[in-house]
Structure formats: C-alpha cells, structure tokens
A and B are shown apart, each in its own frame.
Chain A
Amino acid sequence: MKRLPTRTLQTIVLVLFVVGAILLALGGFLTPVSSLVMGPVVDAQTWLATRYQAIVNYFNAPQDLARLRQTNQELETEVARLEAEIIRLNQQLSETRMLSALVDFARAQPENRYLAAAVIGRDPSPFLQYVIINRGSDDGLRRGMPVVTDRGLVGRISRVTASAASIQLITDPSTSINVRLEPSRAQAVLQGTLTGEVSLEQIPQSATVQPGDLLLTSGLGGNYPSNIVIGQVTGVRSRDIDLFQSASVQPTVDFDQLEIVLVITNFSPIDSSPLVPTPQSP
C-alpha cells in the first residue's frame, strides 16, 4: 500500500478542519467562541475608528463650520421670511374676516347702500372723538351720512374733502342721538362724554329700563336711520326727585379697534331746524 505523502495529508486535514469549522459555525456551535474572539477585535476597531474619525473631524472642522454657518444663515433668512409671511397672512385673514362680517351685515340690510372705508387717523385734538376715513366726496360721500360696522352705529360724517372724510363718533361729547330702548320701546337721548363713554339721558320716569336692554336708533330728528344697534344698558340711575332717569351704556362697537367702517350712502339727513319754533316765531 502506497502511503500518502505528508504534505497531502496535511492539506486534507486542513481542508477537513476548515470544512468542519464552517459547518460548526453554520450550525451555531461556534458562537461563544467567535464572541470570545471577536469581542476584543471589535473593541479595538471601535477605539481605532473613533480616534480616526476625531482626527478627520479635526481637520475638516473649519470647512464644515463655514458650511454650517452659511446653512444657518440661509435657514434664519428663510425663517424670517416665513414669519413675515405668517404675519401678512394673519393680517389678511383678520381683514377678510372683518370684510366678511361687513358683507354679511350689508346683505342683511338690503334697503341700505354701503361704501366701505378704512380708518386712517384720529382727530389731533384730544377733546374730540373723531376719526378720519380714506373716502371723500369723490366717492360720493356727503356730510351727515351715517357710519356703521357690523356691530352697530359708529357715528356720522361731519366734514368731507375730495378724498377723505371726518366722522364724528357717537362717543364725542357734542353727540346727541335719539334712541329707542328695547323691549320697553322708551325714547331717550344718547350723549357722548369727555372720556369717550356714552350715557343715556332723558329716559321717562314711567319707562321700565333694566341692565341688558338694547339701544337702537329711533330715527327721530332725521339724523340717523332707525333701528341701528348702538349698545346695551349696563346700569340705571333713577331718583324720584328727578324728572328723568339716566343710564350708562356699553356700545357694541369697540371704538379703539375701528379699522374698516361702512358708510350708508343712500341716507340723507333731514334738516328739521326750520321747523323748530323759535321765540321770535309767531
């Protein structure tokens, strides 16, 4: 029998060992051994890779920093642009809501014709409660036309130029408006005050007035159309020795937040002064 050469025998043993090791590994029998062997290897490689990455970062940092700064600046610009856009859109939304409310109001009052105007200023004198709007006689506005919002009565036009007009608010101290109380239907006079509030005067003693009662224009005197909402009674002052009762009123319109108003253009005030008897008249 011919003996195998030693070299061939070694090769066969090596192949068998490798195949056996592969089969054992595939069968999962070498996992504890491989863990034991690979653990230190992985740790060493992790240590090496971390140091290597740190060195790479150290050399690349200035370049990355410049790039990051540029990116940051671009993002900040974008954020500022988007914030400005949000503010603009919010303003548009607010304006649209306001206009929508005014349109709804105008549709609910088909007998009136309205012209929208923006409030652009207030009277320079602190003694007067007037606002200036950006519409004038060129737009068909005339002195005496009533001005409202969807919330209620604002005032009436007192002066007109070609492109602007001045509105006397119902809170002006010289304002005096004939009003009707609901549900009692009592007549009274609304007067402005120096502080920008309004009060109700000349309420007949016989009238039953309570907080929460609604105030509407009565139309008497011909200066305002009837049935425009003005406000609500908040408190009543009544004394037996007085001829009339008086009341404090909360207007429905917020005069500090006036931005857009509606002018009733098809209403002409009636000048009843010639009909008022004077001491000289017979």
Chain B
Amino acid sequence: MATLLAIPILGILLILQTAIFSDLMLLHGTADLVLVAVTAWALQKQVETAWQWGIIGGLLVTIASALPLGVALIAYPVVVGIAILLRQRVWQVPVLAMFVSTIIGTFVLHAISLVALRLVGSPLPILESLELITLPSILLNLLVAIPAFVIFSDLADWLYPQEIEV
C-alpha cells in the first residue's frame, strides 16, 4: 500500500514541478519536489518503504527528464540512503535531519547530474553551476522542506498507525 501510494503522490509532485515549479526560478535554480518528498518520507522513523519511494521517484524523473539515463535512478536512492543514515544519527531532531538531508541530497543529485552530463559530452562549468543552480536550488528546497516534512509525517502516521499500550 505505502509503496503503491508513491506512484500517484510522486507523479502529482512531478507534474507540479514540470508545469509550475520549473518556472519559479531563483537565479537558475529550481525546487525539486520529488527529492524533497523522498527525503521527507525516508526520515519518518516508522516508514519501511523509503527505498521503494526512492526508486519510483527516480523512475518517474527518468521518464520526464532529458537527463542521461540512470542519473535519477541512481541519485534518488542515494539521497534516500543519506536520509536514512541521518535519521539514525540525528534521530532526536528530525527537522534538523530534514534540513541536512535536503542540502546533502541536492548536492549529490546535482553532482551526479554534472558528472553524467560530462560523460555524455556536455560538460558544464562546475563553479558556475554551483553558484547559479545548486546553491539557489538548495535554498528553494529548504523552503519546501518544512511543509513537506509535516505533510509526510502525517501521511506516515496515517499509513503506519502506532500501537498504544493500554
């Protein structure tokens, strides 16, 4: 159920991103709703389907994006892995983990994208990319991170109700 739910949720987020959020640029950076969503989902302690969400998110972005094949499929599960790692390390302050995961996740996704584009013969200037795309994207992702974390926290509580001892 939780895995299947990833398809409509991430699908809707991807549609929103391609139709609206890709136009809302800060310098040349844009918010990545799918990345923020899989990160927020992976940080929920009761969630057991974070990897599946990462793979589904990667698949959907692969379909929609012209990035070299495999970039999103590799990057999103890696971001999930980072989030799970941080959840275990910084479990007492989930919001802090969300911020750190978003920053590292955006860096990782952009680094993998830049390497892949370089490999397919389209090298981009790294410093310029960092300045004009990655850093603004991190800022936009951080703006979306808190509402996303709250929404996915509620979703996780709904899907994985906690047992109450009587």
Interface residues of A, Cβ cutoff 8 Å to B: 120-128, 130, 132, 158-159, 166, 168, 173-174, 194-196
Q: In the bound complex, how far is the Cα of B132 from the Cα of A123, in angstroms?
A: 17
- Leading 4 A-B pairs by shortest Cβ distance: A121-B18, A174-B122, A122-B22, A126-B30
Q: In the bound complex, how far is the Cα of B129 from the Cα of A168, in angstroms?
A: 19
Q: Indicate the size class of the contact surface on chain B.
A: 20 to 34
Using Cβ atoms and an 8 Å threshold, which residues of chain B touch A132?
A: 18, 64
Q: Is the CB of A194 within 8 A of B19?
A: no
Q: In the bound complex, how far is the Cα of B65 from the Cα of A95, in angstroms?
A: 28
Using Cβ atoms and an 8 Å threshold, which residues of chain A touch B66?
A: 123, 125, 128, 130, 158-159, 166, 168
CB distance from A82 to the nearest CB of B (A): 28
Q: In the bound complex, how far is the Cα of B29 from the Cα of A126, in angstroms?
A: 6
Q: Is the CB of B19 within 8 A of A125?
A: no
* B144 interfacial contact with A, CB 8 Å: no
Residue from A122, A124, A132 whose CB has the most chain B CB atoms within 10 Å: A124
Q: Is the CB of A125 within 8 A of B65?
A: yes
* B121 interfacial contact with A, CB 8 Å: yes
Using Cβ atoms and an 8 Å threshold, which residues of chain A touch B65?
A: 123-125, 128, 130
Q: Is the CB of B14 within 8 A of A127?
A: no
Q: In the bound complex, how far is the Cα of B64 from the Cα of A178, in angstroms?
A: 28
CB distance from A54 to the nearest CB of B (A): 58
Interface residue SS majority, chain A: loop
Asked, given contacts A130-B66, A194-B28, A196-B28, whether A124 binds B17 with beta carbons under 8 Å apart, the answer is yes
Residue from B66, B122, B129 whose CB has the most chain A CB atoms within 10 Å: B66
Asked, given contacts A130-B66, A158-B66, whether A124 binds B122 with beta carbons under 8 Å apart, the answer is no
| CB closest chain-A residue, reference B110 | A127
Q: In the bound complex, how far is the Cα of B63 from the Cα of A121, in angstroms?
A: 13
Q: In the bound complex, how far is the Cα of B23 from the Cα of A124, in angstroms?
A: 10
Q: In the bound complex, how far is the Cα of B19 from the Cα of A121, in angstroms?
A: 4
* B43 interfacial contact with A, CB 8 Å: no
Using Cβ atoms and an 8 Å threshold, which residues of chain A touch B15?
A: 121
Q: Is the CB of B133 within 8 A of A194?
A: yes
Q: In the bound complex, how far is the Cα of B132 from the Cα of A106, in angstroms?
A: 38
CB distance from A276 to the nearest CB of B (A): 14
Q: In the bound complex, how far is the Cα of B125 from the Cα of A130, in angstroms?
A: 19
Q: In the bound complex, how far is the Cα of B65 from the Cα of A132, in angstroms?
A: 9
Using Cβ atoms and an 8 Å threshold, which residues of chain B touch A126?
A: 22, 25, 28-30, 133, 137
* B117 interfacial contact with A, CB 8 Å: yes
| CB closest chain-A residue, reference B26 | A126
Q: Supply 19 A–B pairs (Cβ within 8 Å), ascending by A.
A: A120-B18, A121-B22, A123-B18, A123-B22, A123-B66, A123-B67, A124-B17, A124-B22, A124-B34, A125-B67, A126-B22, A126-B133, A126-B137, A127-B67, A128-B65, A158-B66, A194-B28, A194-B125, A195-B28
